[in-house]
Amino acid sequence: MTRVKIDTSRFKSDFDSLATIGATNDGGVHRPALGPDHLKARQWFTQRAQRDGLTVNVDSAGNHSAVLLFPEAEKALLLGSHLDSVPYGGKYDGALGVVAALEVLSAIKASGRSLGVNLEAVDFTDEEGTLVGALGSEAMAGELTPERLCNLRCSREEFVEALKRGDLKEESLFQARRNPDTLAGYLELHIEQGPWLHDNRIDIGVVTSIVGSRSFRISFNGRPDHAGTTPMTNRADAGLGACAFNLALNDIVVKQFHDCVATVGGMEFKPGAFNIIPGQASLCLEFRSRDKDSLEKLKAGVINLANDVARHRGLDVSLEEVAVWDPVHMSPDIQRIINTSASNLGLSTASIASAAGHDAQSFAPIIPTGMIFIPSIGGISHSPQEFSKWRDCVNGAKVLLNATLAAAESLRG
Ligand SMILES: [Zn+2]
């Protein structure tokens, strides 16, 4: 049988050419979902796939699939990740997985080998949550709900504009659902985005589970007032409420919730001027854990704390839960396949839980799903400083290729 090999120079030149799209001058990329540079990256994807004779399909959620069909295959094995980035993010997050998936398809096609499952390399829409978060993969997995589209991560106007730019219709997003019976499985290569693999000198992380998360918009409401004439003891300062809440929550999580992380990633004061006591302070809070019970307990803690702070400071508070992702587990069979594929290449492996969300989360509940991690230097991600050694990227692509071949064998039928 012909040997199938990653073409490392093609892989490198593809990765580098994609990284020029939306490039920032500090070495990162700025490609928010359905923004001009994300759409350019999608054009690049189409041209890249067609260059090697792969067909490209675009579904009603904008997911771009490069497809490699085989005569005896019925189901599709999906290999994917995302080409969108967080604002001013790094060039590896998502992009590595998509370029490696394309490379795997090209390598298998060039070898002339026929598999028992069709292959698709997918760029999913809006993984990073500029609009909704995992919009494309949830739509494809049939998990997108109308409620999710009521709790946007941007304004409704921005959402409508983004869909228009992407030539998408809100009501058609749900039609991207694929029947799980037609899908053999899902594999994703990604950077770890944390320091563990690098610190422990492990080549390949075999992902066991992906953390769940809860997101809230919290608004403290007080009384806007004159910043000069209002005595310090007679204020209903919503800004102080938001700050007190953030500091106290940090304490609670550090002391009582060892398996959780919590972040207030945004805070806005209104009216927002030097000389006005803030009448309203809204914040966006997200917390994560690999344990669903911990998430529920922390949620109860957050609600109690917000009410306590409000009462203590003479404020009103409202909480709105905007996203719920439960923790998911990767298929034990796929974990074994990834482990064997890496070991056969002489690479060291370790099981690892993902502390970051991924498109794999959408598929894990419905089809055999697995993820391959490579080390992130310093654990830095969602930053232009995000960096992985090229040797590790190539290792990841090789493991993805071998895992694809082995999974195609075991998941056919
Ligand atoms: Zn990612």
pLDDT tens digits along 238-277: 999 999 999 999 999 999 999 999 999 999 999 999 999 9
Going by the DSSP 8-state scheme, the letter that residue 191 receives in this structure is: E
Burial (CB < 10 A; 0-12, 13-18, 19+), residue 64, is buried
Output the CA 270–ligand 1 centroid distance in Å: 33
Asked if pLDDT for residue 323 goes beyond 90, the answer is no
DSSP state, 382?
A: S
Alpha-carbon torsion (169, 65, 138, 84), positive or negative = negative
Q: Which of 79, 122, 96, 89 is nearest to 373 (CA)?
A: 96
Q: Which two tokens stand for residue 313?
A: 């400071």
CA of 346 to the centre of ligand 1 (A): 26
Cis peptide bond N-terminal to 224, omega within 30: no
For residue 356, the CA-to-ligand 1 centroid distance in Å is 8
CA of 112 to the centre of ligand 1 (A): 31
265: tokens are 């990633």
Say how many Å lie between the CA of residue 52 and the centre of ligand 1. Answer: 25
pLDDT, tens digit (0-9, with 9 covering 90-100), for 187-246: 999 999 999 999 999 999 999 999 999 999 999 999 999 999 999 999 999 999 999 999
Give the three-class secondary structure for 399.
helix
Instruction: Give the mean pLDDT of the chain.
Output: 96
Closest-CA residue to 123 (of 184, 185, 43, 182) = 43
Task: Show Cβ contacts of residue 96 under 8 Å, excluding neighbours closer than 6 positions.
Answer: 15, 81, 189, 190, 191, 374, 388, 393, 396
CA of 304 to the centre of ligand 1 (A): 33
Share of the chain above pLDDT 70, in %: 99
Quick check: 3 pLDDT over 90?
Answer: no
- Ligand 1 centroid–CA 307 distance in Å is 35
Q: E strands, 254-402, where? A: 260-270, 276-277, 280-289, 316-325, 328-329, 349-354, 369-374
Q: How many Å lie between the centroid of ligand 1 and the Cα of residue 31?
A: 12
CA 194 / ligand 1 centre spacing (Å): 12
* Separation of CA 172 and ligand 1 centre (Å): 25
Alpha carbon of 134 to ligand 1 centroid (Å):
10
Contacts of 250 (CB under 8 A, 6+ apart): 262
Among residues 194, 187, 199, 197, the alpha carbon closest in space to that of 347 is found at: 197
Distance (angstroms) between ligand 1 centre and the Cα of 68 equals 24
pLDDT (0 to 100) of residue 186: 98
Distance CA 97, CA 393 (A): 9
Cα of 314 from ligand 1 centre, angstroms: 41
State in Å: Cα 317 to ligand 1 middle.
33
DSSP letter for 215, please.
E
Phi and psi at 218, nearest 5°, equal -120, 135
Closest by CA to 95, choosing from 18, 206, 36, is 18
Identify the CA nearest to 165 among candidates 249, 40, 290. Answer: 40
Q: Are 406 and 340 in contact (CB under 8 A)?
A: yes
381-393 tens-digit pLDDT: 999 999 999 999 9
